[in-house]
């Protein structure tokens, strides 16, 4: 799912880019690696500032990187369809 979204150019990656897009209100879902440094994790969550954007931390950096084909620890979806599909798959346990 993440690889397809990345190929469709419906993702933003990297802590600073994701934080910038949070402030613009363009993100539908944020994926944070479960092994992300604590300071970076807090920085992303602080940027949410009560915005209702779902945050997923169920994947390691290796899993995210394998899915998108690049080394990534913070990734966000900009498309509502991809976000809904990913959240549904996670809820199903896939």
Instruction: Please write the tens of the pLDDT for every residue from 1-59.
Output: 888 898 899 999 999 999 999 989 889 999 999 999 999 999 999 999 888 999 999 89
State the pLDDT at residue 2: 86
Q: Is pLDDT of 93 > 90?
A: no
Distance (Å) of CA 84 to CA 63, 81, 87, 89: 20, 5, 5, 9
Q: Which of 56, 51, 63, 59 is nearest to 19 (CA)?
A: 51
């Amino acid at each position: 799912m993440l690889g397809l979204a990345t190929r469709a150019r419906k993702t933003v990656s990297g802590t600073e880019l994701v934080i910038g897009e949070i402030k613009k209100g363009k993100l539908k879902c944020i994926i944070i690696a479960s092994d992300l440094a604590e300071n970076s994790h807090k920085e992303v969550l602080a940027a949410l500032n009560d915005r209702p954007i779902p945050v997923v931390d169920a994947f390691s950096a290796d899993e995210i990187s394998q899915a998108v084909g690049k080394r990534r620890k913070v990734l966000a979806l900009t498309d509502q369809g991809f976000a809904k599909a990913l959240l549904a798959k996670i809820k199903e346990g896939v």
